[in-house]
Structure 1
Amino acid sequence: MNNWLRKNPQVRTIRVAASDLNGQARGKRIPSRYADKAVEGGTRFPMSVLNLDIWGEDIDDSPLVYETGDRDGVLKPTERGFMPMPWLDAPSALLPIWMFHEDGRPYAGDPRHALNAVVERYRARGLTPVCAVELEFFLIDDSGRTLQVPPSPRSGKRRVAGEILSLRALDQFDAFFTDLYDACEEMDIPADTAISEAGLGQFEINLMHCDDALRAADDAWLFKMLVKGMARRHGFAASFMAKPYEDYAGSGLHIHFSVLDGAGNNVFDDGGEAGTDVLRHAVAGCLKAMPGSALVFAPHANSFDRMVPGSHAPTGISWAYENRTSAIRIPSGSPAARRIEHRVAGGDVNPYLMLAAVLGAALNGIEDAQAPPAPITGNAYAADLPQIPGDWQSAIDLFETDEQVARIFAPDLIRNFVLTKRQELKYMAELSPQEQVTIYLDTV
C-alpha cells in the first residue's frame, strides 16, 4: 500500500475512513509521513463511532458508550488500499478501513463486516454473487431557501422539467460529468452508462457488474462520496436523498445480481427466459425478507416519501418478468446473463447494508428451496398485493423482530441500527420538512 504513496509524493495528507451504519464516512486526517502507522498498526477509534446518528452524535443509552467505557476498536485497511480524492483542492489520499476487536475478531456492528458475513455464507456453499449497482442522484442548487435545478453552465438556463433519457440534459452538465468520469478512473470506480432521469436535475449512473460483492459495495459507497464532492467543486450540490421534490419521482439504488457456481456457471440460467428453480428460490427469499428489511431500503424520514403508488418506486411485494412496477424484476436478454433486479432501495441507503440484505435474503431462499408466488403481470400498483411497510416506525419495529433479518444480520448490528433509527425518528419529528431536507441533502 505504501508503494502507492511513494509513487504519489505530491500527496501530503491521507484520510482513513470507515462507513458507519448510516453510510457516513467516519475517520481521521493524518499527515502522509505517518501513513505507515495507520497501515501496519491500524487506526483506533471508539466502536460507538460506527453507531452514531445522522447528525453524528452518540446514541442515547447505547451500550457502546458509557456501559462499556466507550472502548476502542482497531480499524485496519481494506483490500482497496490508497486512492486519490479528486474532489479536494490539495492532493490527498483516502484509505478505506473496517473495524475489528482487539483480539482480531471482526466487529459485528461494522456494515462492511455484515456484508462479508453474507459473502462467506455464499462461499461456504461454493457460490459467488455477481452484482451491479445503479445509482440515481439529483444535481441541486441549494444556495437559496428553495431547492431548484442548477442553471446550465452552458446556457445559464434552468430546465424545470424531468427529462427522461435526454441527451440535452446530460450535455448541459457535460463539464461536470467529464470530470466525474475522469475521477472515477482515478479511483478505479467502474462507472458505466449515464442517463437523465424523471426528476428535476436527476441522473443515473450504472456501475459495472463485479464478482466481488464487497468491492461492489465499496464502489457504491465511494461513488456517492465522489459525486457529492465533485458537484461542490462545480458550484452546486449533488444528493442521493430519496425524494427532494414532492411532485417528482425520487432516487433509487437498484441492484442486479446473479450467482455463479464453482465452475463459473450462472445458477439462474436454464437456457431460456424463465430461469432456474434456484432463481425462483432466490426470488422467494427476497420477497419473504422484504417487510423485515424495509428499514435498510428506506432508512430515513424522507425515504418513505418516495415509496408511494405511481412514483417509479415499488410499494407492493411482488416479482415479475420485465416489469418495472414490481419490487423484483427479472430482466429479459441473454439466458447466460439471467439475473434478478431488486428495485426497492432508495438512493439514501448504506450500500453495505443494502447488498447484505438483498444477497442474504436471496441465500435464505436458496437454502429453504421454497417457490415464490406466481409472477405478476400488468401494473403492480393496481394489484391486490401484500405491502412493503409504508411508515418508518413500522419498518423499525419489523427489522428488530423479523426472523429473516435475524438470519442475515448479527444481533449487535440489529440492536445498533434500531437504536440509531429510533433516535433519528425521535428528533426528526421535532423538525420542519424544510429542516429535514437540509439535514439529508448533504448527508445521505
Structure 2
Amino acid sequence: MAAQKQYQPSSELLADSDAFLAGHPDLKWIEGFVFDINGIPRGKWLPADSAKKLLAGGLQMPRSAVSLDIWGRDIENSPLVFASGDSDGVCQPVSAISLAPWHREPTAQLHMQLFEADGTTLYADPRAQLQKVVERLAGLGYKAVCATELEFYLLREDADELGRPRPVSDNDSDLVPSTDVYDLSELDAQRHFFADVRAACEAQGIPADSILSECAPGQFEINLLHCDDPVKVADQTLLFKRLLKGVARSHGLRVSAMAKPFGELAGNGMHVHMSLVDKDGNNVFDDGTDVGSELLRHAVAGMMATANDAMAIFAPHSNSYRRFQESSHAPLNLCWGYDNRTVTFRIPASEAKARRIEHRIAGADVNAHLVLAAILAGVCHGLENKLQPPKPVEGDAYQVESEQLINTWNSALDRFAESALWQEYFDPEFVDLFVLLKRQEQAEIAARVTDVEYQSYLQRV
C-alpha cells in the first residue's frame, strides 16, 4: 500500500490569504474551524496576528472534534477518544482567508480540514469521504458538475406563547393560511437582510444566485451556481449556511435549516443538481436530444439503487423524517422523470448541453460533504455496473407503486450500517464512527418524554 501524501495548501490559497491580510490591517480576530459530521463548525477564535500560524498548519484540535454529536459531546466508545488518548490532529487551510462581515469587530475566517498529526488524511473528517468518492469518479474519466439549492426559515428572535419559533412574514398567515411561494413582497420585507447576505457572499467568494420566497411564510430558497469541483461545492454550501446564520444574528433574527421546524408548514430541503463532464469538458449526459444519454440513465439507476442505503445521510436526524409527507414536494418513493417535481430524481427542462439530474431527497439539515459523497457514490455504482432505471414517471409520482424511501431514522441507520456499498466507497472506519454517533443521538432523543406525551397521557390514562 502506497504511503499517504501529506496535505499542503495550494500556492494560490496562500497567495490569496496573504493578499487579504495585507488589505485588512485592521483585523482583530480570525476564526479557524472545520465542519464536523453533522456539518457544524468546530474551531477557535484567535487574535488576528495568529493568521500566519493558522496558514502554516499551526492549529491543533482533538481528532475527535469532527465526530462530536449534535450537542457537542464525545461519542461513547469512539476509537478517537479514550482508546487513543484523545490525541490531536492538525488543521490545514482548504479555503483562503476571507472576511466574516457580520461581526461587530473586524473578523476573518479560515475554513480548514482536520488531518492526522503527520499531515495525512484523517478518515473522521467528512470532507475526506467526499474526496475519496471524487477520486473514484475521476478514475472512470469523469468530473461531476454540481450545484445546491438550500431552503431555510428566517425566524424572529422571540418565540410565541408556547415557546415555538416564529417565522418573519409580512402576510396575514395568522388569519388566513398562506404559502407565498414566489411572493416578492416577502423578499421586499427582508431586503436589508438579503442585501447583507449578498454582500457577505461576495466577500467570501460564495456564488449565490437567485433568491425566492418558498412555500411557507418566512421560508426562502437561495441557489448557488454550479461548479465542476464537488468538494468546493460542498464547502461553499456549508460556509453559506454559516453565513446565513451570522448575518441573521446581526439583524436580530435567526435562520433555521431544520428539516421540519413546523408540523403544518413546508419542510426545508437541499436539492442537488449534477451532471458529468469528460476530460474535454463535454457534458456526457447530453446526446443532443431531450431524453439524454445512456450514461444519464446509468447515473439515475445508480442513484435509485443506492438511495435507501444513503437515507441516514440524506435524513440524518430524528426530525428529518417529518419532512417526507405525501403531496409535500418531498419524495416518498424511488422514481424518476422529466420535468416532474413529484419524482425523486428529476431531469429538469433545459437546453441539451445543460442536461442534468436533480436529486430531491436531502433535507437542508445535512452535511453537504456527505450528501455529495453519497450521491456520487450512487453515480459511480450505476456507471460501473451499467444499471438501467425503470420507465420515467409521468404525472403524480405520489400515486405510483414503487419501492418506498425508508421513512424512519432507526431503519435508515440499520440499512446504512449493514450496507456493503459504504464499505466499498467510504472508509469502513468512518461508517462505524457515523453509526456510533447517530446511535448515541438516537438514544438521547428516545429517552426524552415530549410535551405532547404529557398532555395526552399524564392524567388521561
Taking structure 2 as the reference length, what is the TM-score of the superposition? 0.91
Q: Is the 8 A contact 2:158 2:166 kept in 1?
A: no
Aligned to 2:74: 58
Q: Is residue 56 of structure 2 the alignment partner of residue 14 of structure 1?
A: no
Cα deviation for residue 149 of structure 1 reads 2.0
Structure 2 segments unaligned to the other structure (5+ residues): 1-16, 453-461
Is the 1:364–1:407 Cα contact (8 Å) retained in structure 2? no
Which of 75, 79, 86 aligns to 2:101? It is: 86
Task: Name the amino acid aligned to 2:382.
Answer: G
**TM-fit CA distance, 1:102:** 2.5
Task: Give the equivalent residue in structure 2 for 1:168.
Answer: 185
Q: What whole-Å deviation, never above 9, does each CA across 1:27-48 have from its counterpart, x for those lacking one?
A: 1111121222221133211111
One-letter identity of the residue aligned with 1:89: R
Identity of paired residues, percent? 43
Spell out, residue by residue over 1:204-249, the C-alpha distance to the aligned partner (whole angstroms, 9 max, x if none). Answer: 0000011111111111001100111111111221100001111111
SS in 1 for 2:148: strand
User: 1:95-153, CA deviations, whole angstroms, 9 ceiling, x for partnerless residues?
Assistant: 1111222333211111111111111112222211101110000011241212222255x
Give the whole-Å Cα distance in 2 for the aligned partners of 1:146 and 1:102. Answer: 44
User: Which residue of 2 is the match for residue 384 of structure 1?
Assistant: 401
In structure 2, the residue matched to 1:346 is 363
- Deviations for 1:50-92, whole angstroms, at most 9, x for unmatched residues? 11000001111112111111111111111x2101112211111
Q: Deviations over 1:152-178 (max 9, x none)?
A: 5x99x9996320111111111111111
Aligned to 1:261: 278
Q: Is the 8 A contact 1:128 1:260 kept in 2?
A: yes
Confirm or deny that 1:4 pairs with 2:20: yes
Q: Helix, strand or coil for the counterpart of 1:226?
A: helix
1:74/1:4 CA distance change after superposition, 3 Å: same
Residue 218 (structure 2) pairs with residue 201 (structure 1)? yes
Q: Which residue of 2 aligns with 1:140?
A: 155
Is the contact between residue 178 and residue 216 of structure 2 (CA under 8 Å) also seen in structure 1? yes
Equivalent residue for 1:150?
Answer: 168
Aligned counterpart, 2:260: 243
How many residues align structurally? 432
Report the equivalent of 1:47. Answer: 63
Quote the Cα distance in structure 1 between the aligned partners of 2:449 and 2:191: 35
How many Å separate the matches in 1 of 2:49 and 2:451?
44
Q: Matches of 2:30 and 2:379 in 1, distance apart?
A: 38
Listed as ranges, the matches of 1:204-243 within 5 Å are 204-243=221-260
Uncovered stretches (5+) of structure 1, i.e. residues with no partner: 436-444
Q: CA RMSD in A?
A: 1.8
Q: Where does 1:323-338 land on structure 2 (aligned, <5 Å)?
A: 323-338=340-355
Q: Given residue 428 of structure 1, which amino acid in structure 2 is its aligned partner? A: I
Report the Cα distance in structure 2 between the residues aligned to 1:20 and 1:434, rounded to whole angstroms: 30
Residue equivalent to 1:441? none
1:379–1:64 CA distance, 2 compared to 1 (3 A)? same
Q: Answer with 102-111 or 311-320: which moved more.
A: 102-111
Paired position in structure 2 for 1:438: none
Provide, for residues 13-37 of structure 1, a one-character-per-residue CA deviation record: whole Å limited to 9, x for no partner: 1111101000000111111212222
Is structure 2 residue 339 aligned with structure 1 residue 322?
Answer: yes
Q: Answer yes or no: is the 8 Å Cα contact 1:289–1:405 preserved in 2.
A: no
- Write the letter of the residue equivalent to 1:33: D
Q: Does 1:408 align with 2:425?
A: yes
User: What letter corresponds to residue 237 of structure 2 in structure 1?
Assistant: A
**Cα distance in 2, alignment partners of residues 14 and 380 from structure 1:** 49
SS at match of 1:199: coil
| 1:403, distance to aligned residue in structure 2 (A) | 2.0
1:397-435 C-alpha deviation (Å, 9 max, x unpaired):
111111223332211211111111111111112335579
The residue aligned with 1:183 is 200
Q: One-letter code of the match for 1:143?
A: D
Distance 1:433 1:24 in 2: 25
Give the match for residue 77 of structure 1: 93
Comparing 371-380 and 320-329, the one that deviates more = 371-380
State TM-score, norm by structure 1.
0.94
Contact 2:257 2:365 survives alignment (8 Å): yes
